[in-house]
Chains A and B, each alone.
Chain A
Amino acid sequence: MSAIRTEKLRKEYKDVVAVDSLDLQIEEGELFSLLGVNGAGKTTTIKMLTTLTTPTSGDAFVLGYSINNDKKKIKEQIDVSMQQTAVARNLTVRENIEFYCEMRGKSKEETEAALKHTYEVFGLDKVEKKRAKQLSGGWQRKLSIALALVGGPKVLFLDEPTLGLDVIARRELWRAIEQLKGKMTIVLTTHYMEEAEALSDRIGIMKDGRLLFVGGKDSLFEKTGTGSVEEAFIKIVEEN
């Protein structure tokens, strides 16, 4: 079964078409990167798939559940880390994780397991007693992404997870994301082409709400006659 399948998914804001008849399929366990310039429709697509925004028309199925009709079922099995850091400012790192576990209905044992897991993957144990607002941007982003994991989602949406981070913090996050590969389906949007190249199983390229390309890196290079995701991306976007 596909983890995600969209059928003519469309979103309009007044006279702007943010996403136009999107047909896309993402397999279970895959890390799928959605690329596009600003305003391409990546974030709107994520918002629809995570049930935050209702589509104007069309439908999408996440783990077999409709985003129009089964929002609650979907919310129980997914999580998201948006572009902006989303943490409770005056809570410590540990309290943030415990709070989010409670929001996800986790037991005490499950919460302890989640703490252990996120500490291992993101190294958050080093700052567990610090309040979120005292953390650097990199640590805040790590915490924000870690929170998206504590519910044990089957599908994880990462909307520009490394935006604004320095190169070291970005590489650390890549390593953390790599550790998650295969354990869940991950949908990643990013402006950093090297990030997509390093992490993705498959890539989708959007422009003006339309999907211009879907496939693996090899087929992307073959189609464009280029040797890197960045060159291929520029060629596809400029030609369409």
Chain B
Amino acid sequence: EFRFGSCRVEGVVLPELWEAFQAMKHTVQAQDNVTSVRLLKQEVLQNVSDTESCYLIHALLKFYLNTVFKNYHKKIVEFKILKSFSTLANNFLAIMSKLQPSQENETFSISESAHRRFLLFRGAFKQLDIEAALTKAFGEVDILLTWMEKFYQL
């Protein structure tokens, strides 16, 4: 079960996400020659409060599903890693669909903080050429999973 603050997500098994990504990791990361840029930097993921985590994970997963996975699909087919990709994408979709970040006034400043973190990530993404950005973002799913692990309990 994931617990991003008050957001609970059941029925997703983190080791399965890891297994799916590990099957693609070498292929994808080998395509990323820009070793001097990291999109999911420390400033994006470090010291995120529980309350903030639900907003941040929702924004990140939405971006990964709507931008990264959607536009990287051709490469996935080319690399013949569709099965693992589908496992990862479907699980991300399952997590995102169960997240209900609170919209109340008193959490506005927290959601704003999460949004600034997300903009840091997206800003770095936009600074790269789209192909390089998609490859790098996909190759950094292990950084995202490592961060998500902190909110996971078997």
Chains A and B bind each other? no
**Which residues of B approach A to under 8 Å, CB–CB?**
none
**Which residues of A approach B to under 8 Å, CB–CB?**
none
